[in-house]
Structures are given as structure tokens and as C-alpha cells.
Amino acid sequence: VSRVIPVDTFDLVIFGGTGDLARRKILPGLYRRFLGGQMPQDSRIIAAARSDMSDDEFRAQVRAAIEEFVAADKRDAAVIDEFVARISYVAIDATGENGWAQLKDTMRDGVIRAFYFSVAPSLFGAIAERLSDHGIADPQSRIVVEKPFGRDLASAKALNAVLAQHFAEEQIYRIDHYLGKETVQNLMAVRFANILFEPLWKAQYIDHVQITVAETVGVDGRGAYYDTSGAMRDMVQNHLMQLLCLIAMEPPYHFDPNAVRDEKLKVIRALDPVAPEDIVRGQYLKGGDQDGYVAHSGNPHSRTESYIALKVHISNWRWKGTPFYLRTGKRLRARASEIAITFKEPPHSIFDDAEGWRENVLVIRLQPNEGMNLMVMIKEPGPGGMRLTQVPLDMSFAEALGEEGEDIPDAYERLIMDVIRGNQTLFMRGDEVEAAWAWADPIIEGWERRGDRPRGYEPGTSGPEDALMLLHRDGRRWREIR
């Protein structure tokens, strides 16, 4: 039985259609949705970019992208032919007048029109303006905007304002691809579809929360962008913040876009400022024959962080007193993202085996090998008396769900289908993005003002030594990155 939710016929225009994101994620994702039967046969994809190119030349690029980024068992020659036949190309000048009349002629009436802005944010305004001036977008049209959504509060406000001149908030889909990840959505299901966890989900029972997004890749190839950003802007303000919100938010009254986003917004507004001693920034060093961060960034004096760890407090009734430790970095030991919720001790121990006792930990693995792991105490089997030991209740989603689990759609393909369905739940609202920047700005300004330098760390490790101290001084430990 197919669980695929059908979507209406659409014309999707991808600005920046020849760019890296389109090649790696958007086009291969659309192909997989086409293969999966979710993209209606008569839908079309129109790539728009600056260079002159024929439809066939662009289709050849799409074929190459599918070859490179779609798994071999999903590449079906006949389906690929059908898919690329639905793609056309328009050369367009985002800031000039070239190509817009042609784009208008290409669009069909009576189908959903969606416009994906996979371009630099500096072009958002120009494109939005031309779409409305030329009458290419209608009031039902949707626009999708990519990160980075600003680099501080002022620039995010300016972007929101420029988009608002031409589009209503209900038409704007700000992508944070972390929200499209299966396990991230599962956070909400686990919390709100079970009675089991929610009663314990508060400072009274939770000692602390760790959110880790560790990567093995460096910034090679995108150093010029990355050096103007750093881990705080690139990962924390958006992706880790979204994870924190989903863990910390109050139950929304319904799984409805604004109800969910209202609750996330309240969490962000309740975040305390972060003290300088609760921040550790790092930069990966040269290792073996691999260049270090400064070589990748092309800036020998760079103070941009490729790693950051922070201790964050949420000042509200539910969370007062429970720290959230966040960390993310490049060139670390493993690609491993997880959320670990460590519970407190039982109020009184009736067992003598104090040494065997460990805290309950609920680990939600985002990637790889998505799943959940609940560490529980049991009696050590055998005749050794009442000795305690900890065992995992381990669940891999792929295993638990069998074949369906293997077919988990990639974050981008799911989010694009949500755009066509008109469902904004997994997209950031304008006020949410602004609130996240309002929290991040003083943190960044603080280290810039103090002239703090990131600590060097060896590639392939779990980051700078100082980050260990962030937890040690609280009598806690980071989980191992594996």
C-alpha cells in the first residue's frame, strides 16, 4: 500500500537551477519523488539561471546529477527519461530584465506555481520584485527561500521586509533542512504521541540535554562563504536551534503550522543570554596531509570558528535549572548527530550497588542510523546478587520499519513536497528567524568585541579540549562522538 500523499500538479521554478544545491539535493530529490509516484506526471520543473543553455544541455546536467547523487538501485533509465522530459531551462538575469517575459510565457494557469530561491540572499529582493511586477506569481504561488536567512537580526529583518513587499507570510517557505529530517519530525511524535515521556519532560526530572551535530567534512571548497559565517551562524542559529525548540517546546494544541511555530517561538524568546565562559570556539588544525581551517578559508588571520560548544539556559517554568549543551563542528571524529536527554537520579536508592548505577539517558540519533536508544537499569543477570547494570533499549528506525524504513525520503524532497501541499509546519516563520538572530547577535558581538580567538583542535578528534571543561566543571561529561 502506498503511503505517498498525492500532491497537485505544479510548475516549480528553481532560481539558481545550475547551482550546487540544485545539483546535489533539489533535482535528485525531485527525481526520487517522481520515481515514488508523488510528483504528478504533468508537473514541470523550470530551471532558471544566468548562463545561456538549451533545454537539452540542462537536461544532460540533470542526468549527471542523478547519476552522481541518486543510489544505483533507484536509477531507472526509462523513469529518468520521463523525468528529464518535464524539465526546461530559462536563461534569466535576476537583477535585469532578460528572460522574465519568457518565464512568464512558460508558466501554466491552473497549476500550483512555486519558486525556489536557491540563490544568494542578496538576490531575493530583485527576484521577488520581478516575479510580482511581471505577474508571474499569483496570490496562490509559493516561494521557497534557502539559508542563510540573514547574518544577523538587521539583515534578517531586511530580508523579511523585502519579501513581505510582494508575498504574504503564508506564501513564504523558509527552509531549514533539519526540519525535513525524519528523526527530527519524530521528536514531535515521540514527545506528543506517547504518554510515557511527557510527564518527565521537565527540569524536575531531566538533568541536562546534549545536542551534538558532528561532521567529518571540512570547509574545503566553500571556505570563502564559510569564513564570513562560522559554526554559530551556519549551524547553531538555525539547525541546532530548531532541534532545541522541538525538545523544549510546550505541546502545541494541534499539529498545525502556526500552533507549532508559536510554541517554538516562545522557547527562543525564553533563552537566556549566554555568558562568555559558557562558549568554546574552535578551529581545526592541519592534520597529516590535510590542510587546516585557515588554509581552507584562505584567510591566515581568520578568527572564524569551525567548532562551537555552548551552554544554554531556558528561563521558563519547564526548564529553569536544566542546561542544554550544544556543540557542532567540522573535521571531527565521526559524522554523528544526536540529542541525548539525561534524566536525574531516582529520589532514593534501595540498592547497595551505588557503583553500578547510571542515569537513564534517552538518545535520539538523527544520523547516521536514525533511531532511538533508551538506557535503562536492570539487574545484572546471573547469580551475583543484586548488582545493577545498564542496557540499551535500542531501536533503529530502518530495522523497526523494515522496507519502509529504508525508503525514508531525504529532507529536501519531503520539504519540497510540503511546499506543493501548502503545509508550512516544517518551515520557519519570519518572527522565529528574527528571534533566533536576536539571541545569537549578542553572543557573536561579544566575542568580536573581546577579540576572542578560537582554540585550535586536531582534526579527527571531538574538538577543542576546553569544550570538555564546559561539562566537567558542572560534574558532567559529553557523550562520545562515534
Residues in region 230-289 near ligand BG6 by CB under 6 A? 234
SS3 content of the chain, % helix, strand, coil (to 5): 40, 20, 40
Q: Is 389 annotated as a binding residue?
A: no
Q: Is 177 annotated as a binding residue?
A: yes
Q: Closest Cα partner for 12 from 95, 83, 96?
A: 83
Measured from the CB atom, the residue of 303 and 344 that comes closer to ligand BG6 is 303
CB of 253 to ligand BG6, least distance (A): 30
234, three cell numbers: 551556519
CB of 194 to ligand BG6, least distance (A): 26
First to last CA, the chain: 37
Q: Which residues contact 113 (CB under 8 A, 6 or more apart)?
A: 10, 11, 13, 107, 136, 137, 138, 140, 141, 142
Q: Which residues contact 433 (CB under 8 A, 6 or more apart)?
A: 149, 150, 156, 160, 174
- Enter the DSSP assignment of 294: H
Number of residues that bind ligand BG6 (CB under 6 A): 3
Residues in region 147-166 near ligand BG6 by CB under 6 A? 147
Q: Is 330 annotated as a binding residue?
A: yes
Q: Which helix (H) or strand (E) holds 117?
A: strand 112-117
Measured from the CB atom, the residue of 234 and 418 that comes closer to ligand BG6 is 234
239, three cell numbers: 539547525
CB of 427 to ligand BG6, least distance (A): 15
Residues in region 163-202 near ligand BG6 by CB under 6 A? none
CB of 465 to ligand BG6, least distance (A): 23
Measured from the CB atom, the residue of 46 and 184 that comes closer to ligand BG6 is 184
Q: Packing angle between helix 27-35 and helix 77-84, nearest 10 degrees?
A: 120
CB 23 within 8 A of CB 61: yes
CB of 410 to ligand BG6, least distance (A): 9
Measured from the CB atom, the residue of 207 and 234 that comes closer to ligand BG6 is 234
CB of 234 to ligand BG6, least distance (A): 5
99, three cell numbers: 528572460
Distance CA 318, CA 334 (A): 33
55, three cell numbers: 533545454
- Phi-psi domain of 298 (left: phi exceeds 0; alpha: psi -120 through 50; beta: other): left
Side-chain half-sphere exposure of 207, counting CA atoms within 13 A: 17
Nearest-CB residue for ligand BG6: 234
Q: Closest Cα partner for 332 from 283, 273, 405?
A: 283
Measured from the CB atom, the residue of 206 and 246 that comes closer to ligand BG6 is 246
CB of 124 to ligand BG6, least distance (A): 17
**Near ligand BG6 by CB under 6 A: residue from 207, 215, 413, 434:** 215
239 part of the active site: yes
Contact between 146 and ligand BG6 (CB under 6 A)? no
Biggest CA-to-CA distance, the chain = 82
Q: Is 264 annotated as a binding residue?
A: no
CB 258 within 8 A of CB 264: no
CB of 147 to ligand BG6, least distance (A): 6
Q: Closest Cα partner for 250 from 313, 314, 196, 186?
A: 314
Q: Is 21 annotated as a binding residue?
A: yes
Distance CA 339, CA 326 (A): 9
Catalytic annotation, pick one of 134, 166, 208, 239: 239
Measured from the CB atom, the residue of 80 and 419 that comes closer to ligand BG6 is 419
Measured from the CB atom, the residue of 11 and 215 that comes closer to ligand BG6 is 215
Measured from the CB atom, the residue of 147 and 208 that comes closer to ligand BG6 is 147
- Enter the DSSP assignment of 135: T
**Burial (CB count within 10 angstroms: exposed 0-12, middle 13-18, buried 19+), residue 111:** middle
Q: Is 147 annotated as a binding residue?
A: yes
Q: What sections of 85-152 are H helices per DSSP?
A: 100-106, 124-133
Q: Is 18 annotated as a binding residue?
A: yes
Q: Is 394 annotated as a binding residue?
A: no
- Enter the DSSP assignment of 385: -
Q: Is 50 annotated as a binding residue?
A: yes
DSSP 8-20: --EEEEEETTTSH
Annotated binding site for substrate: 177, 181, 215, 234, 330
> Where does this chain bind ligand BG6 (CB under 6 A)?
147, 215, 234
Residues annotated catalytic, as ranges: 239
Residue numbers in the known binding site for NADP(+) are 16-23, 50, 147
**Binding-site residue positions:** 16-23, 50, 147, 177, 181, 215, 234, 330
